Amino acid sequence: MKILKISTILVISCLIFFAAKSGASSYFSSLNKLTYVLNLVDEIYVEEPDIEELIEGSIRGLLETLDPHSSYISSEEFEKIKETFDQEFEGIGIEFSILDGFITVISPIPETPSERAGLMAGDQFVKINGESAYKIQQDEVIKKLRGPKGSSVTITVSRSGVDNFDVILVRDKIPITSVLASFLYNDDTGYIKVNRFAKKTFREISNSIDSLENYGMENLILDLRNNGGGLMDQAVELLDMFVNSNDTLLYTKGRIPQANEVFYATQNYLDKRFPIIVLINRSSASASEIIAGGMQDLDRGIVVGETSFGKGLVQRQIPLQDGSAARITIAQYFTPSGRLIQRDFSEGLYDYYDDLNSQNREISNLDSLPKFYTKKGRTVYGGGGITPDIYIKNDLLTEDSRKLLFNPDRLLFKFANTIKYENDNSINWFQEKANWLFGLDKEKDRTFSGLISFNSFKKWANKNGYQSINKLDSDSLKLNWDYIANNILAEVNKSLYDKNMYYKTLLNEDKQFQAALENLKLAKSILN
C-alpha cells in the first residue's frame, strides 16, 4: 500500500513536471521539494495520512496562490456546481431550513411535488419514510429527499393547528431558476430580480420581459444585487438584447491567443427600447458587472446602488480524470469603454475581501480613479468594479436589528407564520388588513392594528422560549421597526401568495429601489 502511495506522489509530480516548461531548473527543484515533503509526511507523521487528501490539498493550494478566483474543485463540489449551472435536479421541490431541530419548509417551489401536495411555509418534517427526522443534518436532508424521478418518499408533517399527517411525494425534475421575481411594481414599471447566470438565464429573463411588456411595462428595473455571476455568454446575450448596434459589448485579454476575444452586438433581437435601471451592490460580481458596465458604457441604462464586487477574471473549468476540476484564470475582461473590472488583489486575500467593505469609492475617492467615457461622452470610473451613476447605501440598520434579521432561528419567519395561522390563514382577512400594499390605502397602518408591532413581537418571542430577544436593545430595534415589520409582512405575503409578492413587499422599504424609481426620467433622457 505504501509503495502505491509513493508511486502516486511520484506520478503526479512527474505529470506536473512535464506540464511545465522543460529546462527550468527552478521547476525541478521545487517539485523535488514537494515530493520530498510528501514522502516525509507519509513516513513520519504521527498518524497514517490520507495521501489522496494531501495531493488534493497541494493542488488546491497551488491554484489558490494564483489569484482569488482560480481554484480546485473536488468531485463532490463539481457535481453541485454542475447542478446549479444545469438548473435542475431530481427531488421534491422545497426551500427549507433546519429550525428547532426539524426540516422546516420556507417555501414550496412552484409546480413541484411539494406544491402539488399542498405543503406550506412553516410545515415541519418530523419523519421521513417512518424514521425520525429530528436533529437531521443538512447533508442528510439532501440524501433522503432527493432521488430519481418517479421514486417516492413518505413525509410525516407537523402543521400548526392540525394533527400530524403523512404525505407521499413522487420525486420529479426540479428546476433551479435564475429569475427570483418578475412583476409590475406599478402601472408601467417592471421589476426583475436575477440571482445567477446559468444555462437558461437569458431565456428566463427574455420570457419575463415579454410577459411584462404584454402587461404594459414601459420601464424596467433589473435587480442584480447579490448576484455573484456565472456564465459569461448569458450576460453577453442579455446585453445584446438591449443594444441595437454593432458596438463592442465586452472584450477579454489573456496570455494565450484563445483567451483574447471581442464580443459584439449582433442585432439578432428586436431592440427593447424602454429605459432600464440596473441595481447593483458590493456582492454583484462577474456576469452582473458585464451587464452593469455595458449598460453604462453604451448609454443604454443607468446604474443605481453601490460599487460592485470587482471580479473581472475569466476562468476556464477543466475537468480532471477523477471527476474533480481545475478552475484556472485565463483572461481579464473589460467593458466597452476599456475599464478593467477586476479589483487589485496584490496585497493578499485578506485585504482583497476586507477592502470590499471598507472602501467608499463612490464618495471619497472618485478623483483618484481612472476616468473613462461612455458612447455619449459621460464620465465613468475604473479602478475595479462598476461605480454606480447614482450612489445609494441601502440600509442603516443598527447592530441589534441585524442580529434579529439574520437570527439563525429565523424568528421573523416563525412570527409571520403565527400571524397567518392565528388569523384563520385567510387571504380575505389579510387583504382587508393590507390594502395599502395593493395601492388602495397607502396610509393605512402597516402594522395591522398592532399585529406586527414591536410589543406583540416581543411578547410572542418570550412566550415561545426566545428570551434571547431580551438581550437586544429595545430602542435599537424600535429605530428600525418599520423595516423589520415590513420583512415580517413580506414573509406573510410569501406564504399566502407567492415569491413575487414577497419581493414586492420588501421593495416598499428598499432605499435603492425607491431611488431607482425616482431616476427613471434620467434613464429615459440618456436613452433618448
Give the 3-state DSSP-derived string for 311-369, with helices as H, strands as E and coil as C: CCEEEEEEECCCCCEEEEEEEEEECCCCCECCCCCCCCHHHHHHHHHHCCCCCCCHHHC
Q: How far apart are alpha carbons 500 and 521 in whole angstroms? A: 25
Q: How far apart are alpha carbons 450 and 446 in whole angstroms? A: 9
Phi, psi of 67 (to 5 degrees): -165, 175
Interhelix angle 51-66/2-19, nearest 10 degrees: 20
Would you please indicate which residues are annotated as catalytic (active-site) residues? 286, 297, 311
Beta strands in 50-136 (DSSP E): 71-73, 88-91, 94-99, 102-108, 124-128, 131-132
Phi, psi of 382 (to 5 degrees): -100, -150
The percent of the chain in helix, strand and coil, each rounded to the nearest 5, is 40, 20, 35
Q: Strand 371-373 vs strand 88-91: parallel, antiparallel, or unpaired? A: unpaired
Specify whether the CB–CB gap between 363 and 330 falls below 8 A.
no
Strand partners, 97: 104
Q: How far apart are alpha carbons 463 and 403 in whole angstroms? A: 20
Q: Which H helix or E strand runs over 506? A: helix 499-507
Q: How far apart are alpha carbons 269 and 242 in whole angstroms? A: 8
